[in-house]
Structure 1
Amino acid sequence: MTLLALKEDRPTPKAVYNWRIYTCAAVASFAACMIGYDSAFIGTTLALPSFTKEFDFASYSPGALALLQSNIVSVYQAGAFFGSLFAYVTSYFLGRRKSLFIFALVFILGAGIMLAANGARGIGPIIAGRVLAGVGVGGASNMVPIYISELSPPAIRGRLVGIYELGWQVGGLVGFWINYGVNTTLAPTRSQWLIPFAVQLIPAGLLLIGCVWIKESPRWLFANGRRQEAIDVLCWMRNLEPTDVYILEEVQFMDDDLERYAKEVGKGFWRPFVALRQPKVQWRFFVGGILFLFQNGSGINAINYYSPTVFRSIGITGANTGFLTTGIFGVVKTALTVVWILYLVDRVGRRRMLFIGAAGGSLCMWFIGAYIRIAPPASQTAGAEMTPGAIAAVFFFYLWTAFYTPSWNGTPWVINSEMFDQNTRSLGQASAAANNWFWNFIVSRFTPQMFLTMSYGVYFFFASLMILSIVFVWFCVPETKSIPLEAMDRLFATRPVHGANAMLMGELQMQDEEFRRGMVAGEKGDGGGKEEFV
């Protein structure tokens, strides 16, 4: 087994793992770049001297300033919550590709409005623009994982959806470092804080251009009766002929799944809501939402949006020092995301990484909270060198990052993108994305107040939630790696949960052997076995 060895559900031609699916995934993931950038740059921009001076932050009391900052940050999550729900409507009627185009336009409009803010106009344009930008990223956060999941071969689905997470981290890396750059190279004028806001337009513009080139999801085309177009796109994606046995089998999987769903629920815009009456569908919606509760409950977005506050709580002072420490945090996250994509998500799997990340991350949070409890940074002399305890706290903060990034950072997105069937996938992802942005909103809205009132207790709170997540994953989340999308119903019906993946993989391999024997028999009989599926 090599670093990139894959576990396949059936024999897969090498041509399937081609540049086309990687490029489509990468282009769609420009949406993640704009999401990641926004989540990273806003916290440090609010701490820029030029920004605090322009909007007279010094005139606010600590409580009023915390409220203002949390409002600036959290209206973005509120917009994203509704955008993720709007995406169900656009994806049903227009498809995945056109939906991405629309939400990129909405984001660009919002980012443009933010640039109109100044001391005379007040902070209103930033808040209004962030609401619109939030709608754009909310819709994109719904569409991108679905789109990538639906075009992916099962063996590399985690890796391809992981490109979405990598885009998030690359955007975040730029967002973390850009304020360090402008703070050290530019005078504290309006241009200093305006540049970070303007950079948002770059990834959104690249996504807008890329949407002209990428193909529509073949599964969406099949579900909407555009069969020949779907087969053409599928063959282009897989780099195979329509008569190849791999294509024939994949088409049969999709036909069988759509036929089953048409009998059980039926087709139509409201039918996925009818499917919610089924306990098995309700359960997956619940699992998806709770995964994002625990993801946000790990503390990641408190760090993303308020990194200066977090590092100040550990004892790191000075704007440039805080920006530099935050920038290193972004580098660590990005590097570990690459490792997660190339090796961990499709080799180690989803469940095992969630266990490791939660257990290790919880221990780190307990240590940081205990350090602040025993040696409060506020009691230390201003300008003094960091104590050994403070250095250890920073070390455990980066160790927490090393545990969190290749586990809870992107894995909930991967699982949610793949565990729903074709007809509930868009609604299921809308629910999952809305849950993400809801819990994201709660964290971003109340983090400043939590640090004011709870101090070290904030870290104990996050540590406790990470322990609870281990119990939840063990009993409720089966391993989804290498399972075809059309077999997810069977996976979630298999018990026990911890052995479901191995049991179903064995069944799928036997099923594949029977299918291929049938193909050989059909070819020997009348030569018409291949064409009947197409």
Structure 2
Amino acid sequence: MPSPTQKRVYNWYISLVAASCMVLYGYDASVFNSLQGSKHWVAYFNTPNSQVIGAINTAYTVGAVVAGFFFGGPLADYAGRRMGMAVGSVLVIIATFMQTFTPRGNMGCFIGGRVLIGIGQGIALTAGPIYIGELAPSEIRGTIMSFWQMFYSVGSFIAYWINYGCQKHPQKLGEWDWKMVVIFQLLMPILILAQIFFIPESPRWYVQNGNRIEDARKSLTKVRDTPQEVEDELLSIREAIEFEAEAISSGYSALWKDKSIRKRMFIAMIVNGGQQISGQGTLNSYSSKIYAKVFKDPAQIALINALNATFGIIFTLNATWTVDRFGRKFLLIVGGIGMAVCMLIVATVETQTATLANGGKSVPVGISIVFLMFLFALFYKPSWGATVWIFTAEIFSMNVRAQAVGMCSQTQNVVNSIVQQFFPTFLDNCGFYAFYMFAGINVLLSAFVWYFVPETKKVTLEEIDTLFGGSNHVETGAEIMGIKDPHHAHMESQTVSEGDDKGENEKRDNEKRDNEKRDNEKRDTETRVNETNVV
């Protein structure tokens, strides 16, 4: 039997497999940004103007929004969280080939690939955070979920360093200086597919789909330290789902019928949309175009992007030790204020300094702008980067989690599609004055969090509804099931599925007796258990 330490390591492993879906997103967001700096790509598609550039970005977001709103949730609920991640990975592979081998000048085919890759990622990015949230122990859920955002930076890191290497040898590579960057996107979806069906499915999905108690128990046994923890959590899941089945409708209709869920949808959509209008979404897609107003060497710009992605990984790691210590609300407020100050200063520095004859800026001004952009990332990554995903994945009840997470997370792309479409023109006309807008937006986002966002750290998924004015699904579900102690399962008499035979009961009894002999604390726990009356 694996030790508690081994199970904690396994918890991290399966969570990181799911978090790899975010590498797909980070890589893709950085790929098109990189391509804009390739003269061969520009020539290959007949020098597209700023409106076409905006349309290429919008094509991705349209695909992601459609998938996130209408496909991702139902697929994750019907076929499972693992299948959602797998289907998304397959679509990314197909779309990568479409983009790499697009016929010369055929922008329609390239945009079609962008739409398909958006659909694939919209499906994968719905299933991934739900899976992590449902398998991770509540006390470290925020820490594990912080790696979700960090893996976005990992994707950017890979894409930008590959692009930097290609930009150093444009003459030797020719058109492959951009095709190489695109085709490397195959790496991560292949790795995901190689692992995804060897990790356990969500126990909450098993209970919700066919009341498969024994399958849920097997999943929990792989990731929880003791049989008692497994039974307690399984009981909580069953109680919550029982309440939701009795008192709350499921599917899309529940998103507006229940006042508590409506409130969560409102908050989560604003927070997710705010992530993209903070300025980070624009920097991800157009940093090459932005830096071109300061630096004139494409290789130098590629190096800055690669270094930014490298530091992004380090900056996101700050969330692993802060999100469960200081809380989600604290990070969002501090991050928003810090980002606002950075945007304010960078706009002032660029607009109030002289422009050189070559159209760039002096070396000290350029270094100052790059430093401020990196400082912006330092504030963004652990807060409006990582914490937004953590918050979104944990606040919805089981009956609507897949649909709600899919819709709220894709609000990022709804907002991003609008910003990305007009920003190239905005930047051409207004230059760095555009960043004053982002400074004001970040101040407003911090104020919104202060007044409307409750703290969710270390609250179990089944009981988080109480923070938003809803019922406690565990306690109310226990009343429906006739259970006196909603938080603790009696391992000897806990009701199990009909397929649970006598051998399984004897096995659990033996495990309990072994634990009692080895651990005084366990004996105390089991004494309390035997006094509990479970119907």
User: 1:524 deviation in Å?
Assistant: 5.5
TM-score (normalizing by structure 2): 0.85
- 1:288 paired to 2:245: no
Please tell me whether the aligned partners of residues 24 and 152 of structure 2 are also in contact (alpha carbons under 8 angstroms): yes
Identity of aligned residues (%): 25
Q: Which residue of 2 aligns with 1:37?
A: 27
Equivalent-residue separation in structure 2 for 1:517 and 1:89 (angstroms):
31
Q: 1:74 is aligned with what amino acid?
A: T
Instruction: Report the number of matched residues.
Output: 486
Equivalent-residue separation in structure 2 for 1:32 and 1:365 (angstroms):
26
Equivalent-residue separation in structure 1 for 2:166 and 2:198 (angstroms):
34
Equivalent-residue separation in structure 1 for 2:262 and 2:286 (angstroms):
35
Q: Which residue of 2 aligns with 1:78?
A: 62
Please tell me whether the aligned partners of residues 361 and 400 of structure 1 are also in contact (alpha carbons under 8 angstroms): yes
Unaligned runs of 5+ in 1: 1-12, 495-511
- 1:19 paired to 2:9: yes
Considering only aligned residues, what root-mean-square deviation do their CA atoms show, in Å?
2.6
- 1:108 paired to 2:93: yes
Task: Give the counterpart of 1:236 among 207, 212, 222.
Answer: 222
Task: Give the counterpart of 2:345 among 329, 343, 367.
Answer: 367
In structure 2, relative to structure 1, the CA distance for the partners of 1:112 and 1:492 (3 Å cut) is same
Unaligned runs of 5+ in 2: 471-483, 492-522
Bigger Cα displacement from structure 2, 232-241 vs 139-148: 232-241
Query: Mapping of 1:246-265 within 5 angstroms?
Result: 246-265=229-248
Please tell me whether the aligned partners of residues 337 and 406 of structure 1 are also in contact (alpha carbons under 8 angstroms): yes
User: 1:489 deviation in Å?
Assistant: 0.8
Task: Give the counterpart of 1:141 among 125, 135, 141.
Answer: 125
Please tell me whether the aligned partners of residues 15 and 240 of structure 1 are also in contact (alpha carbons under 8 angstroms): no
In structure 2, relative to structure 1, the CA distance for the partners of 1:290 and 1:186 (3 Å cut) is same
Please tell me whether the aligned partners of residues 255 and 265 of structure 2 are also in contact (alpha carbons under 8 angstroms): no
User: 1:493 deviation in Å?
Assistant: 2.7
Equivalent-residue separation in structure 2 for 1:463 and 1:94 (angstroms):
43
Q: Which residue of 1 aligns with 2:310?
A: 331
Please tell me whether the aligned partners of residues 150 and 312 of structure 2 are also in contact (alpha carbons under 8 angstroms): no
User: 1:189 deviation in Å?
Assistant: 1.3
User: 1:17 deviation in Å?
Assistant: 5.8
Task: Give the counterpart of 1:348 among 323, 326, 330.
Answer: 326
User: 1:260 deviation in Å?
Assistant: 1.6
User: 1:250 deviation in Å?
Assistant: 1.3
- 1:28 paired to 2:18: yes
1:223-256 alpha-carbon deviations (Å, 9 max, x no partner): 1111111011111121433xx2x22221222122
Task: Give the counterpart of 2:45 among 41, 46, 55.
Answer: 55
In structure 2, relative to structure 1, the CA distance for the partners of 1:467 and 1:522 (3 Å cut) is closer
Task: Give the counterpart of 1:449 among 422, 425, 433.
Answer: 425
Equivalent-residue separation in structure 1 for 2:214 and 2:6 (angstroms):
20
Equivalent-residue separation in structure 2 for 1:347 and 1:281 (angstroms):
27
Please tell me whether the aligned partners of residues 254 and 400 of structure 2 are also in contact (alpha carbons under 8 angstroms): no
Equivalent-residue separation in structure 1 for 2:486 and 2:462 (angstroms):
17
Q: Secondary structure at the match of 2:292?
A: helix
TM-score (normalizing by structure 1): 0.86
1:20-59 alpha-carbon deviations (Å, 9 max, x no partner): 21111111122111111010121111221211222221xx
Query: Mapping of 1:47-446 within 5 angstroms?
Result: 47-57=37-47, 65-85=49-69, 86-119=71-104, 122-187=106-171, 189-224=174-209, 225-241=211-227, 244=228, 246-266=229-249, 270=251, 272-313=252-293, 315-341=294-320, 343-375=321-353, 379-382=355-358, 386-446=362-422
Q: 1:32 is aligned with what amino acid?
A: M
Equivalent-residue separation in structure 1 for 2:97 and 2:489 (angstroms):
59
In structure 2, relative to structure 1, the CA distance for the partners of 1:126 and 1:515 (3 Å cut) is closer
Bigger Cα displacement from structure 2, 512-521 vs 164-173: 512-521
In structure 2, relative to structure 1, the CA distance for the partners of 1:250 and 1:455 (3 Å cut) is same
In structure 2, relative to structure 1, the CA distance for the partners of 1:169 and 1:447 (3 Å cut) is same
Please tell me whether the aligned partners of residues 417 and 429 of structure 1 are also in contact (alpha carbons under 8 angstroms): yes
User: 1:522 deviation in Å?
Assistant: 10
